[in-house]
Amino acid sequence: MPRKRKQDVKVNNVSSLEGLMQETYSDACLQIVDAQISINELKLSAEPTDVDDLTKIAKEKGGLLKIKDSAIRIKLELAKLQSDIIKNMGNAEATIHDRSQGQASLSDFKSIREMIKNDSKSNADLD
């Protein structure tokens, strides 16, 4: 897999927004594919012999489905943002201003922190 290009995030910069959106979308797609591959491997792996094995497999599938659901939610949020940009005739700055009145709120930072924390917990559970 090729190494990712380093993305600089700059406030009020359209090209930075586009790059960040593309990187986020690509990562979400990879999470969906990886989760589905793992789910398929669990299905095709050894035949469970007792209830304990079935419980462990079901728990692992549940975690993978949560990751997949989270990635789908991220893709939907990106689609909403892209739709808003199209409504504003491609003006990303106007879209950002309409969505947040030009300011980042405390809840924005809280939600970003929670997403990162949940993502790191999900990845730690898979390891």
SS3 125: helix
Confidence of residue 72 (pLDDT cuts 50, 70, 90): very high
| CA distances to 28, 53, 85 from 81, in Å | 15, 43, 6
d(CA 76, CA 69): 11
Burial 74-86 (b: 16+ CB within 10 A, else e): bbeebeebeeebe
| CA distances to 70, 107, 117 from 111, in Å | 13, 6, 10
Average confidence (pLDDT) over 75-101: 76
Is residue 101 pLDDT above 70, yes or no? Answer: no
Q: How high does pLDDT run on average in the chain?
A: 78
Is residue 32 pLDDT above 90, yes or no? Answer: yes
d(CA 81, CA 1): 28
pLDDT score, position 5: 65
Average confidence (pLDDT) over 8-35: 82
d(CA 66, CA 119): 10
Burial of 47 (0-12, 13-18, 19+ CB in 10 A): exposed
- The number of beta carbons lying within 10 Å of the beta carbon of residue 18 is 12
Average confidence (pLDDT) over 82-101: 73
Lowest mean pLDDT of 3-7, 13-17, 40-44, 46-50, name the range. 3-7
